[in-house]
Amino acid sequence: DIQMTQSPSSLSASVGDKVTITCRAGQSVSTYLNWYQQKPGKAPNLLIYTASNLESGVPSRFSGSGYGEGFTLTISSLQPEDFATYYCQQSYTSPWTFGQGTKVEIK
């Protein structure tokens, strides 16, 4: 199985801050890397697919980059509704695996 490791596991930030979350794969996953946002009590919501493609309806302050083993999710200007847990996930090979999550909290 491909292990996905996110850093940090949690962070505190203020509204307006630029936030970067990193995801590292245990082996190359090419660009088969997706990012999700999950709020308490809700299902995850797809933000970015295949490393850098913004899902329809997702605000443009979210962006993704990377290839191979290293990826980043960037929120250019954190908004109050962005406080949530973020997960990366590889779809390069079965079993599809997720990172452990990064909780973004209010500073």
Partner 1 sequence: VQLVASGGVVVQPGGSLRLSCAASGFSFEDYTMHWVRQRPGKGLEWVSLISWSGDYTNYADSVRGRFTFSRDNSKSSLYLQMNSLKTEDTALYYCAKEQNDAFDIWGQGTMVTVSS
Question: What is the residue-wise DSSP string for 10-66?
Answer: EEEE-TT--EEEEEEESS--TT-EEEEEE-TTS--EEEEETTTEEPTT--TTEEEEE
Binding string, residues 36-55; x marks residues near partner 1 by CB under 8 A: x-x----xxxx--xx--x-x
Cis peptide leading into residue 8 (ω within 30°)? yes
Based on its alpha-carbon atoms, the radius of gyration of the chain, rounded to whole angstroms, reads 13
Number of residues counted as binding partner 1 (CB under 8 A): 23
Binder to partner 1 among 19, 75, 87, 104 (CB under 8 A)?
87
Residues 12-41, interacting with partner 1 (CB under 8 A): 32, 34, 36, 38
Binder to partner 1 among 16, 60, 81, 95 (CB under 8 A)?
95
Q: How far is the CB of 85 from partner 1 (least distance, A)?
A: 9
